[in-house]
Amino acid sequence: MRRKRHRKTNTLLLLLSLIGLVIIFLMPSVTERASSPAETETAATASPAPDDQPVFSPTPPSQEPIQTEPSHAPPQPEYADAVWIAVGDVMMHTPQLPGAYDKQTNRYNFDPFFEEVKPILQQGDWVIANLETPIAGVEFGYTGYPTFNAPTELAEALKNAGFNFLTNANNHSLDKGERGILQTIKNLKSLDFKPIGTASSQEEADSLTLSEKNGIVMGLAAYTYGTNGIPLPDGKPYLVSLINEQKIKDDIKRLRDAGADFVAISLHFGTEYQLKPNDEQKRLARSLIAAGADIIAGSHPHVVQPYEVLETTDQNGHARKGLIIYSMGNFISNQRGETKDYGVIFKVSIRKNMSDGTIDFTEIESIPTWVHRYKPDNSYRYRILPVEETLADAKDTLLTKADYEMLKKDSVLLRNRLDSMK
């Protein structure tokens, strides 16, 4: 009986064990079928991760960064700026010499001529004057009108004042002949000036003058209407650059092709002592602006004439300005009366758009000057004074009441004349 019960018990335990095993095997399928649809979708769409990387849950839609519209504003252009300065005729008449001579050093000192305008000149990157006299040296004799020759110290003083370019194609270039002009060129080179408008060889005459300042390249050339009837030596037309319209236009193109951002042309032309440009001056200057010149710097009339600004286009169709200064008058000389003792400093602020290479004149300033001549002893002294600044300051002890009254009257006259073609 006891064995029978024991056998039943073992059979029951075996049955229970089998039922437990069946439940264990069936549980994963039941659990998988019981999973929520959301869990199933997440598991299906999540990217499988490498075995050695943890699995990250996707960012819920509500936490995604807000997308903004891209900005379509064009980039701001970059600019380069530089200052171009020019003055008129630099002359040396005989009365200007004695007061500048130092017997102890046996040298001339012309620095005082330019002391009052030096702060203006030193604001320029390119500072240009027309040297209307040979500086051939003492062996040629120091002479004034009608055939000039000045001490080389004049060019030294110009350099000290801030000038870095001297044009010398003018009607007095050949006053001391071929030897005189060659010696002048040599003396200018010794002071690190490259003569503009005269040359000692054809190769030199064909070379281009390009000067880069602050990322802006200026091209510069100079020409004169003639040489006072003194002929150029046979076979040496290169000594002085004469005005030839087609040649100048060709040179403008050569300067442009060589990389000039803007081109300045010095023209020694016009009628002496005439207060307005003549018809040929206007025709030629405007023709050269149309051909690609940006600035015409005029000299020769020995009085200030008006200036004008033309609106034109460059070779790419971009709008550009052309500045024509018909005459800047006398910067330094002994000429007096009828405004021959006045000149003008032109200061032009030049801006280059570095993205498209276009040039603009952001400011054109004309600064009238007066040659103050006075006699403290047996010799004259000379100073170039900025007229409007001198009047505003009104503290110059070397000027008389009559000087101030004259400057006040003439400043109005000069301003009206300068601006009459604007």
- Residue 34 in this model has a pLDDT that exceeds 90: no
**Structural domains of the chain in order of their starting residue, each with its CATH number:** 79-421 (3.60.21.10)
| Separation CA 282–CA 276 (nearest Å) | 10
User: Tell me, what's the pLDDT at 68?
Assistant: 56
Q: Is the pLDDT of residue 63 over 80?
A: no
Residues 303 and 339 sit within 8 Å (Cβ to Cβ)? yes
Are 112 and 392 in contact by the 8 Å Cβ rule? The answer is no
Within 190-229, strands assigned E span: 209-213, 216-224
The sign one gets for the Cα dihedral 160, 161, 167, 173 is negative
Looking at residue 315, its pLDDT comes to 77
Highest mean pLDDT among 31-45, 55-69, 71-85: 71-85
The pTM of this model reads: 0.82
Quick check: 47 pLDDT over 60?
Answer: no
Going by C-alpha positions, the residue among 374, 366, 397, 368 that lies closest to residue 112 is 374
Mean pLDDT of 360-377: 98
Whether residue 146 has a cis bond before it, omega within 30° of 0: yes
Mind listing the pLDDT tens digit for each residue in 124-176?
999 999 999 999 999 999 999 999 999 999 999 999 999 999 999 999 999 99
pLDDT of residue 37 exceeding 60, the answer is no
pLDDT at residue 316, rounded to an integer: 78
| E strand or H helix that includes residue 182 | helix 177-190
Render pLDDT for 239-251 as a digit per residue (tens, 0 to 9): 999 999 999 999 9
pLDDT of residue 13: 53
